[in-house]
Amino acid sequence: MRPSMRRLTTTAALSVMIAAATVTAGPAAAQGPAMHQVRYTVTTDAPFYAKIYYRDAEPAVFSDYSHNPYLFSPMVEADVGPDQPWVLETQLADPTMWAMVMVQSAESPNFPTPAFNCELAVDGIVVKTHSGPKGALCSIRSW
């Protein structure tokens, strides 16, 4: 076989191998990390208007979060009470790092408040609860 023909055959064979490897590796890479079911529950000891910050998405890299934490921590205002919980279910790949719910008064700072309560469950297991007179934070990670 002539040298130029051998080079063409080698190049063609290498191209076929790279294409096969790419097709084989493609679906495995597209699956991504296993997702965990996360459930946030917020209540108060008496009906009250509250601000609730939560995390339902996680950044690709920590610096994305560091530069704009509110992008990853939306806030909702809701009427909550002992028989009127606020509940949100989402999925996170790393709830140990990113699962978080925080509740506080949406009223004037001098307005008397009931106790605030939060609960954080991952894959159906309650992993954190907290209560406080001015607010509550539930997170696996220490902030």
DSSP per residue over 122-137, as a string? ETTEEEEEEEESSEEE
For the beta carbon of residue 122, count every other beta carbon within 10 angstroms. 17
Which H/E stretch holds residue 25? Answer: helix 3-31
- What is the mean predicted confidence (pLDDT) over 105-114? 80
- What is the mean predicted confidence (pLDDT) over 14-30? 44
CA 70 → CA 11, 47, 49, 73, distances in Å?
A: 51, 27, 21, 5
Global pTM?
0.75
Share of the chain above pLDDT 70, in %: 78
